[in-house]
Structure 1
Amino acid sequence: MHGLIKLLVVFLFVLPAQALAQESRLTFGGDQFTAGQSARIDAPVARDLFAAGYDVTVQAPVSGDAHLAGFNVAQSADVTGNVYAAGFSVSLTGKVGGDITAMGNTVSVAAPQPVAGNVRIAGQTVTVSSPIEGSTLITAHTATLSSGVKGDLSFFGETLAFGPGARVDGTLTIHAPQEIAVPVSVAAAERVKFERLVAPDYASEAGKTAEHAVRSMWPAVWGTGLWWLLLFVTGVVAITLLPRLTQSLQSTGSTRPFRRLGVGLMTFAAVIGLVPVLGLTLLGIFLIPFALLFVVLACMLAYLAGTYLLGVRVVRALTSVDSNLKRVGVLALSIVVMGLLGMLPVIGWLLTLVVLCFGFGAIAAIIMGRLSASDRPAVPAAAVAQTPEAV
């Protein structure tokens, strides 16, 4: 049990404290956690790598799996295990000893060495020029294959082009609106399957969709309204009864947003990881229900804090927020706007995750600040009396 407490302290406090720097790193059990506006991996990683930031660059070998998330993601060093990458621009030019799972607007797999496992890619523009030992699944508007695939290849999209070195040894299945010609050098005709992607008849389906939506929307409307009301009441109580905490949150959330986001991402991961960690011990199994309750409450408070702080940042650009009445107004507006944005398809969950991590980051920064202040030794009264000012 003592070891479990140490583990939780590392995840919940040490990691957020280190993430206050421009780039934070934590090595735990051979795994490396890196976050920052520019996350650069320039030293070998003994086991798994977890990296997040605006620019994520892997320039040193990784002995385990690599989990990469950022706006620009580039992997040029060898990864012994699997690669999981997500970003706007994803470039994988290093050797991969396992599978590749990647998504982004532009995704390129261009290592000269073969990818040992399967490849799964989703993006607007996808380019694959690395030999693939396994099978490949591509979902893209436009994809280009310039290497050999020893397994099967399945493509969902509009355009599939083949470079000089393209070859599929297994079955090539194409799902597209129009049939795509496949050269014999890529795959023999008997190994090529084409399935037309047919756009649905929106006119005929509109009535069915509207009827179903009308019947099923009221429970969702009431559930959403109650959720917003719970957030609003909790926020009003905090603003009214905890003014110092509210002011500390506003001050913390108004500076270093990228650092707060990095801290929040790792704190969120640590909170979620509390449940499986407790499951590792016999006593911890009985504490799992309480841990689940803690996770739900922590996520709710973090989401509320992130929503309010982002709302304050926006409103402060137009006017001051210097009274409780204004703070309550900002809170109500922020909850409604963020709730509607969270309903957007595709990006709604991502916006909600950003707000959640931002709230976790602000709360973690306040906790670490207060812990640091409490650790400072008190100055004895006698010593204060003997100072020149006192004399």
Structure 2
Amino acid sequence: MKGFYGALLALCVAGQVCADEAAQQLAVGQDIYMGGRSIVMDAEGRDDVFLAGERVDLRDPITGSAHLAGRWVEIEGAVAGDVYAMGQRVTVADPVAGDVSAAAQRLRVNAEVGGDLRAMASEMSIAAPIGGNAMLTGEIVEIDAEIAGDVVFHASTVRFGPDARIGGAIRIYEEVANTVTIPDSVASPDQIERRGLSGNPLAPDLFGQTAKDQRAAAGLPKPAPEPEPLPTGFLSGVLVVAILGALLAVIWPHGVAEMRRSVLGTPGRALATGFVTVSAVIGSTILLAMTLFGLFVAPVSILALIVLWVLGYIVGTYAAGVWVLGWFGGGEPMTNGERAMAAGIGALGVGLLSLIPVVGWLLLLVLSTMGAGAVALRILRPRLFADG
């Protein structure tokens, strides 16, 4: 999950320059952040990389992890760490020593992955060995290589090539039982477990009614309710938002400061702009989906909407944290420590307020929309409303 937010951060940091033809970059030690229309990372000796653009090409080997976001993403250099990638088309063409987490319309794994593969794609092809486990969600999944560990499927169609092998347990989530057929050459029947979408064995419905009826017919008592979990999910969410807000404020201080002033200084304008921008992105996604060609582009609009909303929430919570500090007598954050404090206070405060029934949800919606509006004003206004 942290790497997924890292890929989002790669796109967010590059958002201000993605409309430019020339790539721009920021080097922090051995790490590099790059954004632009067409990105080619061919610098030697890099550790972690954060790349975002329409075309993203990682060509040289890196010693750390790769966080990639774009329309067409190519991994043509060996990665010693993990890979986190989002795009319309993602291709892994050189070995990855760690894990690969990817979301795309079309995913191709043509080089060995030493760790786990976590993938979500409309069309997915695995033509190289996977050293760990695999979690695969898609419309069409094709496997023609060995997967050493366990595999979890949720796909309409699964095809196996002559070189396909699965060494561990297989769990298949199906709407209708036995939709996915696994040949004996791939795995033995005792490796396979089939579940309904609810997670109950052979329950074909979302709520596991078949499993409940079977328990009642057998005279078994109802399962005891599970104890309430500790609020670790809430605390983890607050921590992730605080870290992302602090990183964004440190890496892009002037841009974040301008967006924060837009939220606090002209909240009505930010809210209206955010509403129009989010509506436009949603509308464009629907219109694209209505056309044959647009079906291939619609995932990019969906990705843009997700990034805009996440970035809007981060900016909104950061602005709330600055407002709280100002209310207690603090000024504008000038140091990295003050920026991190504002991000943490904002993430915690907004997170607690969001727990209030109905009102908290509305507050979250308004704050995220205001943040999205501030982002749109910062990125688009110089181009759409430039004088002359």
Report the TM-score range of the alignment, normalised by the length of the smaller protein.
0.5 to 0.7
Instruction: Tell me the alpha carbon deviations over residues 68-115 of structure 1, each in whole angstroms, 9 at most, x when there is no partner.
Output: 00000011110110000000011111110100000010011111xx31
2:377 paired with 1:359: yes
**What is the RMSD computed on CA atoms of the aligned residues?**
4.1
Aligned to 2:263: 300
Pick closer, same or farther for the CA change 1:18–1:110 going to 2, 3 Å. closer
Q: Distance in 2 between matches of 1:190 and 1:359?
A: 58
Tell me the percent identity: 26
Q: Distance in 2 between matches of 1:72 and 1:40?
A: 12
The match for 1:140 among 134, 138, 141 is 138
Q: Distance in 2 between matches of 1:116 and 1:302?
A: 50
By how many angstroms is 1:160 displaced?
A: 1.0
* Contact 2:17/2:35 (8 A) holds in 1: no
The match for 1:150 among 126, 148, 151 is 148
One-letter code of the match for 2:306?
W
Aligned to 2:61: 61
The match for 1:273 among 232, 240, 247 is 247
Q: Distance in 1 between matches of 2:163 and 2:153?
A: 18
Aligned to 2:173: 175
* Contact 1:341/1:351 (8 A) holds in 2: no
Aligned to 2:341: none
By how many angstroms is 1:187 displaced?
A: 0.7
Pick closer, same or farther for the CA change 1:196–1:270 going to 2, 3 Å. closer
Aligned-partner SS, 1:184? coil
Q: Distance in 1 between matches of 2:250 and 2:84?
A: 21
The match for 1:337 among 257, 266, 276 is 276
Pick closer, same or farther for the CA change 1:146–1:18 going to 2, 3 Å. closer
Q: Distance in 2 between matches of 1:185 and 1:53?
A: 42
Instruction: Tell me the alpha carbon deviations over residues 234-291 of structure 1, each in whole angstroms, 9 at most, x when there is no partner.
Output: xxxxxxxxxxxxxxxxxxxxxxxxxxxxxxxxxxx986416799xxxxxxxxxxxxxx
Pick closer, same or farther for the CA change 1:172–1:18 going to 2, 3 Å. closer
By how many angstroms is 1:297 displaced?
A: 2.9
Aligned to 1:166: 164
Aligned-partner SS, 1:33? strand
Q: Distance in 2 between matches of 1:302 and 1:120?
A: 42
By how many angstroms is 1:196 displaced?
A: 3.2
Q: Distance in 1 between matches of 2:244 and 2:113?
A: 32
* Contact 2:275/2:373 (8 A) holds in 1: no
More displaced stretch, 191-200 vs 62-71: 191-200
Q: Distance in 2 between matches of 1:69 and 1:42?
A: 17
Q: Distance in 1 between matches of 2:38 and 2:17?
A: 18
Aligned-partner SS, 2:131? coil
* Contact 1:271/1:295 (8 A) holds in 2: no
Aligned-partner SS, 2:54? strand
Count of equivalent residues: 247
Q: Distance in 2 between matches of 1:342 and 1:81?
A: 34
Aligned to 2:108: 108
Q: Distance in 2 between matches of 1:297 and 1:31?
A: 27
Aligned-partner SS, 2:260? helix
2:193 paired with 1:193: yes
Q: Distance in 2 between matches of 1:61 and 1:87?
A: 21
1:221-260 mapped onto 2 (5 Å cutoff): none
* Contact 1:59/1:77 (8 A) holds in 2: yes
- Structure number with larger C-alpha Rg: 1
For structure 1, list consecutive stretches of 5 or more residues without a partner in the other structure.
1-12, 202-268, 278-292, 309-330, 366-391
By how many angstroms is 1:349 displaced?
A: 3.1
One-letter code of the match for 2:139?
H
One-letter code of the match for 1:40?
V
* Contact 1:18/1:25 (8 A) holds in 2: no
Q: Distance in 1 between matches of 2:160 and 2:275?
A: 48
Aligned-partner SS, 2:61? coil
* Contact 2:102/2:119 (8 A) holds in 1: yes
2:93 paired with 1:119: no
2:25 paired with 1:22: no
Q: Distance in 2 between matches of 1:355 and 1:171?
A: 47
Aligned-partner SS, 1:87? strand
TM-score, L = length of structure 1: 0.54
Aligned to 2:78: 78
Aligned-partner SS, 2:121? strand
Aligned-partner SS, 1:359? helix
One-letter code of the match for 1:359?
L
Instruction: Tell me the alpha carbon deviations over residues 194-247 of structure 1, each in whole angstroms, 9 at most, x when there is no partner.
Output: 12333559xxxxxxxxxxxxxxxxxxxxxxxxxxxxxxxxxxxxxxxxxxxxxx
Aligned-partner SS, 2:96? coil
